Chains A and B, each alone.
Chain A
Amino acid sequence: MELIVTSLRFVADSAVDVLPVAVFLVAFQRLVIGGPMPNGRRIAVGFFFVVVGLGLFLVGLEQTLFPLGRLMAQQLTDPTFLLETAGREAAALVWQDYYWVYLFALAIGFSTTLAEPALIAVSMKANTESGGAIGVWGLRVAVAIGVGVGVSLGCFRIITGLPLAYFIAAGYLVVIAQTAMAPKLIVPLAYDSGGVTTSTVTVPLVTALGLGLAEAVPGRSPLLDGFGLVAFASLFPIISVLAYGQLAALRARVSPSDWDDLDE
């Protein structure tokens, strides 16, 4: 019963969120393009689905993805679990003892990215636009490795409490150096793949994981240290995709015929 009431409240909230978008689109159609909206009824039905779906998704998120991320962070940093796996008491823990956290972060980042529909679509588009030089699977794996390593390194930062800005600044210095050397073709695509990867399902889970870690690790504050995992997950794919482009160019230089079958 309570679930139904909460769902209705969330659906009402999302109607308020979506309404301005609908109004703007209709206004543009009428004022700039002129003439009535084609397929008016279909579009009304579509907006109804958007509102209901958004509301239900947000309820489910609050009941599942946030608690799951918190729960995993709690279990992975539980003192008895750490005593068993690292053989050290809570007071004597060093960052290496949290290796299961890094493995979990790597697995979540890699697997969710590999299954990401937006990335599959972008990869296929890039494959056609580049005339086959950029492989669909190569690109997907490159991005997935980037996200996995990124989330993992982000957890390392939360556990050690090092400043986020240093990592981001260093990361972008690497990106700048790579941009100068990588083939021109791959550059915009690499920059975009940073944003594409972090999907609607992954972001809440990863955010909850970071906040949970910052709550559980001694001496960390959720507000100061808990955020930043999504930033890592957006930065590292840029590096890995640029590296993929550099590797592809290198192989092409060694034997030009390889350009054609890089995606195999």
Chain B
Amino acid sequence: MKNSLLALATDALESLRDLLPIVIVISVFQVFVFRGSVTGLMPMAAGGLLVVAGLTFFVFGLRLALFPVGEGLAHSLARKGSVFWLLAFAFVLGFGTTIAEPALIAVAGEAAEVAAAAAAITSTAEAMDSYAFGLRMTVAVAVGAALVVGVLRILFDWSLPIMIISGYALVVLVTTFAPSEIIGIAYDSGGVTTSTVTVPLVAALGVGLASSLKGRNPMTDGFGLIALASLAPILFVLIFGIAVQWN
């Protein structure tokens, strides 16, 4: 009990540290550049507290439940040596963690609002919800697929730079066919997916797998999954945009 409280307090401090640079930079700009005061921002303080409290509980819960289970499963599956189950697990891990990613939920909602405002989709609540949901599902499937490819890469020792370079060449090619309003959202979705939830679990999978295989170096083989998980969503969302346009 005492240990849990200590862990909760540590998480709270870390969430505060996440928010602190933003508070400092914005305050400096308010006071010195706009020569105003920070009192105008006080109504937002309540929301700021919710951000810190929410992030604290979220990370605390992840450490208690998701991380140990995910890491344990990654290790047992890597030891078990069944390629099929390893790939199935990689997909589920990528898909599941991305669906629950807070930054993606927020940005998909914002993207739907902007699309509705620009009359790219009808501006009813259902149309916006289904657009945001479609976007999130697309990104989640993309991250799942990326982890499958990434695990195959570690197993068969494929060259990461060649995969990344040809991946981005493909992105540039598909961009030329995509409707212009999806391009920005697609390119952003690569960076959005890989934060609080995904990174620790994916890193555990990669490094765990590389260290349980003979002749693999955790440094050069373990990393790289996140790079693939940032690339695939761009490609998939561009294709999502092309598909939405056709309907």
- A residues engaging B (CB < 8 A)? 3, 7, 14, 17-18, 20-21, 24-25, 28-29, 32-33, 37-39, 42-68, 72, 75, 81, 100, 104, 107-108, 111-112, 114-118, 121-122, 125-126, 129-130, 164-165, 168-169, 172, 176, 179, 184-185, 187-189, 191-192, 194-205, 207-208, 211, 221-231, 233-234
Contacts and interface: CB of A to CB of B under 8 A. Distances in A.
B73 interface: yes
A32 B73 CA distance: 9
Interface of B: 14, 17-22, 24-26, 28-29, 33-34, 41, 44, 46-66, 68-70, 72-73, 76-77, 80, 85, 89, 92, 96-97, 99-103, 105-107, 110-111, 114-115, 117-118, 120, 160-161, 164-165, 168, 171-172, 175-176, 180-181, 183-185, 187-188, 190-196, 199-200, 203, 207, 218-227, 229-230, 234
Given A195-B226, A221-B118, A227 B187 contact: yes
A125 B219 CA distance: 9
22 contacts: A17-B105, A29-B73, A46-B61, A53-B55, A56-B50, A57-B102, A59-B50, A61-B47, A62-B106, A67-B47, A112-B21, A129-B218, A172-B172, A187-B161, A189-B219, A195-B190, A199-B195, A200-B195, A200-B196, A224-B181, A227-B187, A233-B191
B181 A203 contact: no
A223 B181 contact: yes
Given A42-B65, A200-B18, 9 more contacts: A24-B96, A25-B69, A46-B65, A49-B65, A52-B54, A52-B61, A75-B29, A191-B226, A203-B103
A44 to B, nearest CB: 8
A37 B65 CA distance: 11
A47 to B, nearest CB: 5
B203 A122 contact: yes
A205 B47 CA distance: 13
Task: In the A-B complex, list the 10 residue pairs whose CB atoms are closest, starting with the nearest.
Answer: A46-B65, A227-B184, A49-B61, A57-B54, A53-B57, A63-B47, A60-B50, A53-B58, A46-B64, A56-B54
Contact of A195 (B56, B110, B115, B199): B199
B160 A231 contact: no
B24 A111 contact: yes
A53 B120 CA distance: 33
Nearest to A204: B106
A223 B54 contact: no
A178 to B, nearest CB: 10
A46 B227 contact: no
Given A53-B54, A129-B218, A225-B184, A196 B226 contact: yes
Nearest to B57: A53
